Structure 1
Amino acid sequence: MRAIWKGAVSFGLVSIAVRLYSATDEKDIRFHQVHREDGGRIKYKRVCSIDGDEVSYDDIAKGYDLGGGEMVILTDEDFAELPLTTSRAIEVLEFVPAEQVDPILYNKAYYLEPDQTAAKPYALLRDALTNTERVAIVKVALRQREQLATLRVRDNVLVLNTMLWPDEVRAAKFDILDEDVTARPAELAMAGSLIESMAADFNPLSYTDNYREALQEVIDAKVAGREVVQPEETEEAPAAAVDLMAALRASVERARAARGEEPAEATKATKTTKAAKAAVEKEEAAEPTPIKKTAKKAAAKKATPAKKTTAAKKSA
């Protein structure tokens, strides 16, 4: 790996010289735009929209659009005067519990490698973060921009996770959620049963990018001159659920079948299903059908006045 940044982690009076490496590598298959007839690469020219002349990199500046056709031009000198106090330092601001950092703030991950002379303080910070179960909130300047980030431990290595600033996260506002939409107890119990039937320990290696693999096969087939065969659809799109409880029950059974479990097997999911069924029966008893209401009325007619009074008192 090639280091993309060199500097130091600074917390208190301790300074740790480190190198920064990108911790992730996107595996997307990338394409070039080409001429369909002969495969020639499509090139783009930097052309000024006013005079139509091609512009060299040396004559390009950054412009901030004010709207209405007005533009503020900023040069390299303008950016050089900006106060980036953390230009060569990862400044620790505070240490917080890891669970308090909302994952939506995380952006990109980097590994930190210590210099030979900084191995001991590096290990000190790493072990201290592990023992206290906290992460460091830091500021760092990367690519001419000051960023908020966290320092945490992964596989015995310090990892820097750059973060979005709070005002970069959009607020979730959906009018439909302002309505009083609630699930029935029976539905919640059945949903819990479905979750238990699909419960597992997370193993990222068990998941694959099926689209990328299929696309690579198409490319390999083109290279080898083979005929590209369109794979057949193996699964039909699920139909829209009409009865929520029925859909939940079917989902539980499907999840069990996928795991090779018998319907009557005494698992935790089965116990939850029984609880869900009990909740359904309880809910049905609380909301009697017209037949049950008719039967109650018939029984009430046969009952004596004294019994009616007693029943009325009990219901009161």
Structure 2
Amino acid sequence: MRAIWSGTISFGLVALPCQLYTATEESGPGLHTVHATCGGRIRHRRVCELEGIEVQQAEIARAWEAPDGRQVILRDTDLEALPLPTKHVIEVLGFVSTDEVDPILYSRPYWIRASGAGAQRPYALLVEALSRSGRLAICKVAIRSRERLAALRPRHGMLLLQTLLWPEEVRDPGDLSSSSPLTDRELAMAEVLMDALAGVDIDQLHDEYTAALNSLVDAKASGGELAVRPEPAPAVDLMAALEASVEAARQARGEDN
């Protein structure tokens, strides 16, 4: 892994030099965009709509447009020069219990590594203190010239920084709830189904879409076609569907045992 950020965790008067590493990566076969009739690669070029010429990356900037059409051009150097105190500091604002952070706010995770021999002891202290307390450290940090909220928490004896969405970034869905009445029997059967399906080993789950896509690529490469699975018909009767689901779950668990 390559560090994407270097700086210091600051909590109270304790300073912990550290580096951030991206904790996740996308998986998949990596498909290209091509012209369907001939297979030629589709290239996305940066073209100026006023001059009609292709623009190099070094000439590209960002802009804010005023209501009257005037633009304020911002270059990378302008953004890098923003006077953010969190540019090289993960500023711990306070500590909260894990259930105080709505899971909808969680965004990207980063592993944290202590930098240098002098950072090892405060790193170990923060990991152990967070583990014992069951709390998260709520922080501010600027990554790639943008300041974000973040949660600092222990994981497998290491520190994990997980960026958070700002509360205003979460859309208000309005009222999407259902007013449909439910019977006690339906609720009881739903609980029976939940009990029958209790326990999932997430580490044993795999990306079936990628596996199916690889099978499709192999079939196409050999001149064949992939068999299409029939879609299950939706059940009309809720109780019948619940009862059938419970029976299927029990049979599946019995086979697994």
TM-score clears 0.5 = yes
Cα distance between partner residues in 2 of 1:69 and 1:55 = 22
Which residues of structure 1 form unaligned runs of 5+? Answer: 262-316
Query: How far did residue 162 of structure 1 move?
Result: 0.5
Structure 1 runs, 4 residues or longer, greater than 6 Å off: none
1:72 corresponds in structure 2 to 72
SS at match of 1:260: helix
Q: CA RMSD in A?
A: 2.3
2:244 corresponds in structure 1 to 250
SS at match of 2:254: coil
Question: Deviation string for 1:98-139 (max 9, x for gaps)?
Answer: 111111101111100112321111000000000011010011
Query: How far did residue 203 of structure 1 move?
Result: 1.7
Once the two structures are superposed, the pairs formed by residues 154-193 of structure 1 within 5 Å of their partners are 154-174=155-175, 177=178, 179=179, 181-193=180-192
The alignment status of 1:240 with 2:235, answered yes or no, reads yes
The alignment status of 1:86 with 2:80, answered yes or no, reads no
SS at match of 1:64: strand
Cα distance between partner residues in 1 of 2:216 and 2:173 = 39
CA contact 2:32–2:41 (8 Å) conserved in 1: yes
Question: Deviation string for 1:166-212 (max 9, x for gaps)?
Answer: 000011213664x4x44222221111111111111x32122111110
- From the superposition, tell whether residues 211 and 70 of structure 1 become closer, same or farther in structure 2 (CA, over 3 Å): same
Cα distance between partner residues in 1 of 2:67 and 2:177 = 35
SS at match of 1:29: coil
Cα distance between partner residues in 2 of 1:79 and 1:19 = 21
- Give the structure, 1 or 2, with the largest relative contact order (CA under 8 Å, sep 6 or more): 2
Tell me the number of residue pairs that the alignment of Structure 1 and Structure 2 aligns.
254
Query: How far did residue 91 of structure 1 move?
Result: 0.7
SS at match of 1:18: strand
Cα distance between partner residues in 2 of 1:4 and 1:80 = 15
More helix by share: 1
SS at match of 2:226: coil
CA contact 2:80–2:145 (8 Å) conserved in 1: no
Query: Which amino acid is the alignment partner of residue 203 of structure 2?
Result: L
Cα distance between partner residues in 1 of 2:19 and 2:172 = 35
The alignment status of 1:228 with 2:224, answered yes or no, reads yes
SS at match of 2:122: helix
1:49 corresponds in structure 2 to 49
Which residues of structure 2 form unaligned runs of 5+? Answer: none
SS at match of 1:247: helix
Cα distance between partner residues in 2 of 1:77 and 1:21 = 24
Once the two structures are superposed, the pairs formed by residues 122-133 of structure 1 within 5 Å of their partners are 122-133=123-134
Cα distance between partner residues in 1 of 2:240 and 2:219 = 44
Identity %: 46
- From the superposition, tell whether residues 104 and 121 of structure 1 become closer, same or farther in structure 2 (CA, over 3 Å): same
- From the superposition, tell whether residues 134 and 78 of structure 1 become closer, same or farther in structure 2 (CA, over 3 Å): same
- From the superposition, tell whether residues 76 and 24 of structure 1 become closer, same or farther in structure 2 (CA, over 3 Å): closer
Query: Which amino acid is the alignment partner of residue 252 of structure 2?
Result: A
Cα distance between partner residues in 1 of 2:176 and 2:30 = 39
Query: Which amino acid is the alignment partner of residue 217 of structure 1?
Result: S
Cα distance between partner residues in 1 of 2:39 and 2:181 = 57
- Structure whose alpha-carbon radius of gyration is higher: 1
SS at match of 1:86: coil
Query: Which amino acid is the alignment partner of residue 32 of structure 1?
Result: H
